Structure 1
Amino acid sequence: MSRVVAVATCALNQWALDFEGNLERIFKSIDIAKSKGARYRLGPELEICGYGCSDHYYESDTLLHSFQVLEKLLQSPATQDIICDVGMPVLHRNVRYNCRVIFLNKKILLIRPKISLANAGNYRELRWFTPWSKARHVEEYFLPRIIQEVTGQETVPFGDAVLATKDTCLGAEICEELWAPNSPHIEMGLDGVEIFTNSSGSHHVLRKAHARVDLVNSATAKNGGIYILANQKGCDGDRLYYDGCAMISMNGETIAQGSQFSLDDVEVLVATLDLEDVRSYRAEISSRNLAASKVSPYPRVKVDFALSCPDDVAVPTCMPIQWRHHSPEEEISLGPACWLWDYLRRSKQAGFLLPLSGGIDSSATACIVYSMCHQVCLAVKNGNADVLADARMIVNDETYIPKDPREFCKRIFTTCYMASENSSQDTCNRAKLLAEQIGSYHINLNMDAAVKAVVGIFSVVTGRTPQFSVCGGSSRESLALQNVQARIRMVLAYLFAQLTLWARGMPGGLLVLGSANVDESLRGYMTKYDCSSADINPIGGMSKTDLKNFIQYCLENFQLTALRSIMSAPPTAELEPLVDGQVAQTDEADMGMTYAELSIYGKLRKIAKAGPYSMFCKLINMWKEICTPREVASKVKHFFRMYSVNRHKMTTLTPSYHAENYSPDDNRFDLRPFLYNTSWSWQFRCIDKQFRTCLKGSA
């Protein structure tokens, strides 16, 4: 009896609305799958149009072009003799669904709509799609005429069904359904489905991959079966990076693992698996078999096709492997680097410009660009022709081959130290040394003349000259003078980004990189429209703690010795006058809280959904060894005052790589107002009442 099946899953770097490019990548994945003997090919969620189309899903053009791509796929000889499972939006009875379209030899077998929609955090699927709510129910779907002409079918099954081939049974899940408490694979497995498929659009968050892997393996640990997961990879035009990690699992163990971070636009995993291993695994689970005898059956679409090899062909099967997880520091080095590469090549710019201050944040950003250069050189060395073509396009040289990361960095990365009379020589030296070690084209400039010119205009108009507080000025004057410096840095960054290459006799412009971390954004410790305002920000979703660990990682793995002094220096904005030539201003003193505290506040506020009172109640226990209830109350009040006063700054936050689930990214991930009653009078009274109760209890 035939029992060894060959199946393929993909990680594809699809781009929203890039129908031509998306089609090419789908074709390439099918060709690879077939060349490796696969009889079934699974692709990522909404791969035809790209996952991140957002409100373009409302447009009939998106639906039309998706069907035009499907027509090309159905007509092509490349899709013959392999079951192809692709993702696209479908309009059924005037309702939009997120669907899998499964076809074989110019015939559509089933259109399977998504049952559980992702609608939290970064996801808004309920805005564009409706979940299929008719369990185990199939309806007739009337195909568009362009598809009817290819398939000869007027209608096809649409709904919650499974495929019954000659040798096995397949059932589909779509992304969120794996994460749902009542995942379809449970009931499908009890009904005899042996192969579960999941097409995902799952984004990267630091330390998230293990959760996805555990869910896939646990899906078949209790019930037996084969689980195949495909995922989007790369940046499809927004703040998210989809990290691939396509995988195949059987009976609770990983069989094949795809790369989590890669510059390959198309990655295909193929595994040969023995169906008898599933059947024997299930045979001795009596509780599973008792439940299976009572399950309501799924509608089955019969398919005159086998996934297994002929009986007389001996095919070796794949064995379980140990999943290899990246450390958070490796994730920071690789994920944002791949994200930056997608932005650079798809924006068709000639490189990046970074205001490099010599502090941890801008230095970490520079290291990520350097890591990107490493990844590009490695990909070219490994024969990636697409990466080579993109690199040549970026540097405008058809014969160029990137071999050395420092040399490539010199071509595409400009760093700029913008000194003022408040800058120290130490930070200047740190920035210069790091630039030398990574190979960036480095600029030193002094902006005092520009600052004095702007302040001079104000003085001429008003007859008043503001002073720093250390020179006798008020806090308002001092803050305004600091903000002028910060905003002029942003103006200079864009000026140099547009004209530096012109001045050097080279074509093109540069993307400006921001370097505000997630904790500073949460606290609002930045000037609106200062040098944190940029085109994109690779570290905007990362905590200061993680960035410090990443700096240590780069010191050890890239041998960037300049990072040693950067790590030991206290973070400072250098916007106030020096005292005896030394920096007197530090970030944590200015903020009135530490970066470690900020991370805790952010996680409690966003992830634990804690308001001022709830946060106080949690922290008096968390910090009982280090703070009195009164001190905790003071810290919580100060955070919420500063958070609410500065929340308006999030409306102009630079689009940032999403890496933390407490990101304050306004109206994208963090849907909160930006105008508050900053006294929080009711909430703070509740805190006061509670800490007085605590004091009485401890008396």
Structure 2
Amino acid sequence: MDHLNRLFVRRSLGYVRVASISPALRVADVDYNVDQIALALKQAQAQGVQLAIFPELCITAYSCADLFYQRRLLDAAIEGLRRIAEESARLSISCVVGLPLVVRGRLYNCAALVSAGRIVGIVPKTYLPTTGEFYEQRWFTPGDRSLPPTLELAGQPVALGIDLLFVAEEMPACVVGIEICEDLWAVEPPSGRLALAGATLLVNPSASNELLGKADYRRDLVRQQSARCLAAYLYAGAGNGESTTDVVYGGHCLIAENGQLLAESERFQLDTQMIVADVDIERLEHERLKNSPFSQASNVAGLRCIPFSLALTEQPAAPLVNRPLSRTPFVPADPARRAEHCREIFNIQTMGLVKRLHHTGASRVTLGISGGLDSTLALLVCVRAFDRLGLNRTDIMAITMPGFGTTVRTRNNAERLAQELGVTLRTIPIAASVRQHFQDIGHDEAVHDVTYENAQARERTQILMDVANQIGGLVVGTGDLSEAALGWMTFNGDHMSMYHVNAGVPKTLVRYLVSWCAEEVFTGAIADVLRDIVETPITPELLPLKDDEQLAQKTEETIGPYELHDFFLFQVVRHQFAPLKVFFLARQVFAGVYDDKTILHWLEVFYRRFFAQQFKRSSMPDGPKVGSVALSPRGDWRMPSDASSALWTAQLAWLSERIS
């Protein structure tokens, strides 16, 4: 483990490593079951797990039936719990296990949280299924508020009740709430109230048997409850060793977080099954801060907060972050899901423009086409919108405006695409008018500075606006979300339009959208042109070509790789992560692609430009939001244009010292 990884101990970044475990058990053999649980805890601790969850009634097994009336079994269960508590102290790991427990002459189906050698608290099951193959009310009493608040167990005072929240002393934002199996299937699961009261990590020891189609339903239930509660949800199902007299238990284990499935076990296995993942408590806190139902929640008083010790290692275990991470968070890795996303986004863009055209009564548009990705996508959206409205494609005025840096390849692609799509193509060279402008303002054309570049961008925008006035149409913008984040646009140049169809689409996704259009929407020569555009280097074409007519300017050589910047954008805006955490995640997912200094350099560029260029976003035109990250000043991102970046750059400087 390198010295930087030692700085990134998971606790400082808001992660908790958890495990959901379905051990191989024997019905009513408490000693064997406890041995299997202890062995699984040892294996989990070796993987850096801090909290593990086991199935419902795992100390005795769930399917003991009338053996639950046997005093010998009930006493053995308490002794087994005491042994597990001792094991938790030896291994420095917390866990939730299930057992039957007699309280004031009534038998309860309970889950116990054990930590640092202590039985911290016990939660009884609220909803007892007594239908079909389930018959729990024969043996157990539902948990309610008539229970005593504490009881003596294994020589310790232990909190008892359905009103318990367990707060990690070392990470107060990690609050554990417990419900048991059927509780999740209820109309109002206890986890909802627990989450509103502060539980960020919900656990469910379960003994749900397997039936045709039930696994899919169970998976969706867990995932959706984690989303509804803005929480992590751990589910551990009973498995091998339970009685198969009438049903079979598959050992289904699931870990979900805010609607995302982080890990899932393989069912119907003979040995102990364990899944491990890092849940991001910091992310969940952020989601709740933004969610109004949490701030408006009522009827959450009366729950008791019970402290417990969450084992925190000083050395991070490998992998450093054990959860699904993507280099391209805006682009699904699965081709089918990616195609579905592209279809949905293209429809959103299209309907946004359809509504704007219908509202204004406009039946004509102008847009600049360069043969690049962004203008190509905008043109395709225009074509689809006109088709939906029954308008003539010839009323789409596609204008190519060759300048000092225009290449033959991009110009040919722009012209061919316009012709094949059947839109009106106009070619208006800008070199002469820009040179006249240089003469008017006294700028030396040989000085290729920001004035040189921006004069061309503003000339193109002026042409588009004036032609739109000529034909009585709208100017459709072409810039994308990544350019807005970085301010990679000329203020009052390509920054401006009358409707901005690409405003919500990041650069890494633009490429896939154009590729998807080539595969699913268009065919023949149009698809061929689109494929070539996808392969063309990204460039604003504002600097003169080299002597060999090759590009002298490539965007990613100037501002950095878009795959990095889009990754930064997602973490900074979607999750509000600090620079340290963004860098930490980037170095893990881009390991072997970019070294630490390269990642940090472009992260510094991202933060510098993101803060400095807010004034452009504050005056950006209308455009449709297509995903969870958007920068419209009227909706998702409201930031002062003169906000200081000092706090963020200070953390980057701290990182820089340690890298060098």
Higher Cα radius of gyration: 2
TM-score, reference length from structure 1: 0.45
TM-score, reference length from structure 2: 0.47
